[in-house]
Amino acid sequence: MSREKVPLEKISDYTWQIPKYKPGMRVPGMVFANKELLEKMHTDRTLWQCVNVAHLPGIYKYAITLPDGHEGYGFPIGGVAATDYEEGVISPGGVGYDINCGVRLVTTNLTEQDIRPKLGQLTNTIFENVPCGLGSRRKDFRVSVHDLERLVMEGVHWAVDHGLGWDEDIKHHEERGCMENADPDKISTTAKNRGLTQIGTLGSGNHFLEIQKVDKIFDDRVAKTFGIEHEGQVTIMIHCGSRGFGHQICSDYLRVMERAVQKYKIILPDRELACAPGKSREAEDYYKAMACAVNYAFVNRQTIMHWVRQSFQKVFKKDPETFGLNLVYDVAHNIAKIETHQVNGERKKVWVHRKGATRAFPPEHPEIPADYRSVGQPVLIPGSMGTSSWLLVGTEKAMNTTFGSTAHGAGRMLSRHAAKKRFWGGDVKKALEQRGIFVRSASSVVLAEEADPAYKNVDVVAEVSDRVGIATKVARFVPLAVVKG
């Protein structure tokens, strides 16, 4: 099945259409990539999965694969699908296991020179304060089942109320840090138990925390609006998600949706696209459960950011406010949303599935915090360990083209196994340290698997997004220190 060559028609250098060449396809596929990225997509099932997504009932316009697209489960990672709110379906596979896996960017008023003498100490302190890697957690941070139920309903408000952040952090989150409709009665005891032990942990694999510096500014005005003042400015990026809590919710609802597929007689080309009609009870339950995981992930990143602020305080012996440490924005990369979009000249209420995709709303959109509304929504695209990361800004073009979405990251080039064979953890660490990048990792296997040549070049991904115009370049960051699971 993966051997069949998916047909592509060139629209422009960065846009390719997959025609409706199969009878079950309700819409074409649309792929945003340059030749190099497209060639990579041909080597796995990315495009084949894009074709499968085009089969979903009620899907509008086209199934979208973004420049960082790679093979996922059911849906490709780096994809967007919008389905009609009533006639369409919602699919947990279109969100993924790590619900609200996302990124936040924090600015400081320090320069590389200011931080360099203390960088090792700061990195070690963060590594001690932020649990990462297999099975780690902080002994002094425990939540009860009651706390868990509150935090999944209240999101980042819960964190701030419990002293884990500042009031002004709240507005700088997608959904203002709290997705409505979260209902803990819709999640299993197993999910709750997994959630209890993993709140406030970075996790393993591709998740990371980096101390970075602004490497290059591409758009001065927009950068300044987001608090990026000059090249060399120190920033912090935190990349993680909803941990075992979100994974269990996804898993539980894949079972629910499998039954729904039979009940509602939905015909699908792949078991992992399991879904339910928008107006069904199954869809409503999933959406309410998913919102719990979304809020959990906001709290997770907020808590980790709080411990980073405390680490600055410990190392520099001054209040964290002294260093700025302002949250620029927190975005979700794996999420489903109810949004209104223009489809064939009509306003339509849709389920937007963003799986490995970043919302990229244009200037003046009401969902954007007031202080950013004149320029557009900040879009955060983390690179892989040791490479650059990007800040872009959402556009009107994204609204019209990709249901207000763009890419989310680098996307893997090598399988983890292949990466391990080619790179050895110790060498990876040494190579990064030779470039002046401090590395603390709980696992040398993770270091090898996450070695940067294992990923597509994130610069190319950001460039394609910029050229297509679905989010334009604002600033690029490079790491000074990396903390990994």
Partner 1 sequence: MEHTADAYIAAYGRNLMEAFENAALAMFEVMTDVGKIEPKIEDYVEVEAKDECALLYSWLEALLVKFDVEKMLYSKFKVLKMDETVEGLRLEAKIWGEKFNSKKHPQKVGVKAVTYHRMEVIKEPNKVTLKFILDI
121 to each of 309, 318, 326, 341, 439, how far by Cα in Å? 14, 15, 21, 48, 12
| Contact flag: residue 134 with partner 1 (CB under 8 A) | yes
Residue 57's identity, in one-letter code, is P
Pick one of 52, 125, 248, 388: the residue that binds partner 1 (CB under 8 A): 248
Q: How far is the CB of 282 from partner 1 (least distance, A)?
A: 17
Pick one of 30, 51, 234, 254: the residue that binds partner 1 (CB under 8 A): 254
The pair of structure tokens assigned to 34 is 């340059």
Distance, in Å, from the CA atom of 218 to the CA atom of 55, rounded to the nearest integer, reads 39
Pick one of 181, 190, 280, 322: the residue that binds partner 1 (CB under 8 A): 190
Residue 413 or residue 431: which is nearer to partner 1 going by CB? 413
Pick one of 58, 67, 69, 74: the residue that binds partner 1 (CB under 8 A): 74
| Contact flag: residue 453 with partner 1 (CB under 8 A) | no
Q: How far is the CB of 269 from partner 1 (least distance, A)?
A: 14
Q: Write the DSSP symbol of residue 201.
A: -
| Contact flag: residue 67 with partner 1 (CB under 8 A) | no
Give ∠ CA 27-33-39 in degrees, rounded to 5.
Answer: 100
274 to each of 89, 162, 261, 453, 485, how far by Cα in Å? 9, 38, 6, 34, 31
Residue 251 or residue 322: which is nearer to partner 1 going by CB? 251
Q: How far is the CB of 194 from partner 1 (least distance, A)?
A: 5
Q: How far is the CB of 53 from partner 1 (least distance, A)?
A: 14
End-to-end CA distance of the chain: 35
Selecting among 157, 247, 333, 408, the annotated active-site residue is 408
Q: Are 172 and 155 in contact (CB under 8 A)?
A: no
Distance, in Å, from the CA atom of 49 to the CA atom of 376, rounded to the nearest integer, reads 31
Q: How far is the CB of 132 from partner 1 (least distance, A)?
A: 10
Q: How far is the CB of 251 from partner 1 (least distance, A)?
A: 6
Residue 408 appears among annotated catalytic residues: yes
Q: Are 402 and 412 in contact (CB under 8 A)?
A: no
The pair of structure tokens assigned to 165 is 């952040």
Residue 57 or residue 205: which is nearer to partner 1 going by CB? 205
Residue 41 or residue 471: which is nearer to partner 1 going by CB? 41
Distance, in Å, from the CA atom of 357 to the CA atom of 334, rounded to the nearest integer, reads 7
Pick one of 55, 104, 157, 247: the residue that binds partner 1 (CB under 8 A): 247
441 closest CA partner among 451, 430, 429: 429
Q: Are 377 and 355 in contact (CB under 8 A)?
A: no
| Contact flag: residue 445 with partner 1 (CB under 8 A) | yes
Distance, in Å, from the CA atom of 112 to the CA atom of 421, rounded to the nearest integer, reads 34
Distance, in Å, from the CA atom of 313 to the CA atom of 414, rounded to the nearest integer, reads 39
The pair of structure tokens assigned to 211 is 């101390």
Q: How far is the CB of 253 from partner 1 (least distance, A)?
A: 12
| Contact flag: residue 50 with partner 1 (CB under 8 A) | no
| Contact flag: residue 282 with partner 1 (CB under 8 A) | no
Each residue 382-421 as x (binds partner 1 by CB under 8 A) or -, in order, gives ------------------------------xxxxxxx---
| Contact flag: residue 426 with partner 1 (CB under 8 A) | no
Residue 249 or residue 315: which is nearer to partner 1 going by CB? 249
Residue 60 or residue 75: which is nearer to partner 1 going by CB? 75
User: Any bridge partners for residue 213, and if so which?
Assistant: 234, 478
Phi, psi values for residue 304, rounded to 5°: -60, -40
Q: Which residues bind partner 1 (CB under 8 A)?
A: 44, 70-74, 77, 97-98, 133-136, 190, 193-194, 196-198, 203-205, 244, 247-248, 250-251, 254, 271-272, 412-418, 442-443, 445-446, 449, 485
| Catalytically active residues, by annotation | 408
